[in-house]
């Protein structure tokens, strides 16, 4: 099965969430609530080769009223298969834009080790996926990363 080339960024447009993944997964541990809220439906993946991807959790048969109630009360974690679909290629400006959007909606998850203005400037200077990756790692506290 085809999947994104790691490392890759996953962006959730509904929650303005961005994260980096260093390996491609075919199975993922997710909460039942994430399945019911269709968290996967709002995600776009930007891989290191310039490809954009969508994925969905293979959760057939898990939509009963009992399951929904269980997700609201207990919210168990379970393993589900991930089904990947390549949807095209992206321009680097698109990846910078989603990074800046996640930064604009951040609740100090992204900016634990960097100031917003400095990080925003660094994102705008990125000219390649590798630059975005270096900026991400620098943002996370790896101050050895080479920035522009």
- pLDDT tens, position by position, 95-142: 999 999 999 998 777 777 778 899 999 999 999 999 999 999 999 887
Chain CA centroid to CA 135, Å: 16
Do residues 92 and 126 touch, judged by C-beta distance below 8 A? yes
- How far apart (Å, rounded) are the C-alpha atoms in residues 32 and 23? 23
CA gap 15, 2 in Å, rounded: 26
Report d(CA 21, CA 27) in Å as an integer. 14
Residues 50-83 have pLDDT tens digits of 999 999 998 655 667 777 777 778 888 888 999 9
Entry pTM: 0.86
């Amino acid at each position: 099965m085809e999947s994104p080339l790691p490392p890759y960024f996953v962006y959730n447009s509904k929650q303005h969430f961005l994260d980096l993944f260093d390996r491609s997964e075919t199975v993922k541990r997710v909460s039942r609530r994430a399945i019911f809220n269709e968290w996967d439906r709002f995600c776009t993946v930007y891989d290191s080769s310039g490809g954009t991807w969508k994925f969905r959790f293979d959760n057939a048969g898990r939509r009963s009223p009992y399951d929904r109630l269980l997700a609201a009360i207990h919210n168990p974690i379970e393993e589900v298969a991930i089904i990947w679909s390549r949807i095209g290629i992206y321009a680097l400006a698109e990846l910078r834009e989603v990074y800046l959007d996640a930064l604009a909606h951040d609740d100090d998850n992204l900016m634990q080790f960097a100031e917003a203005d400095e990080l925003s400037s660094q994102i705008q200077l990125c000219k390649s996926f590798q630059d975005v990756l270096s900026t991400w790692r620098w943002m996370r506290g790896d101050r050895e990363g080479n920035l522009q």
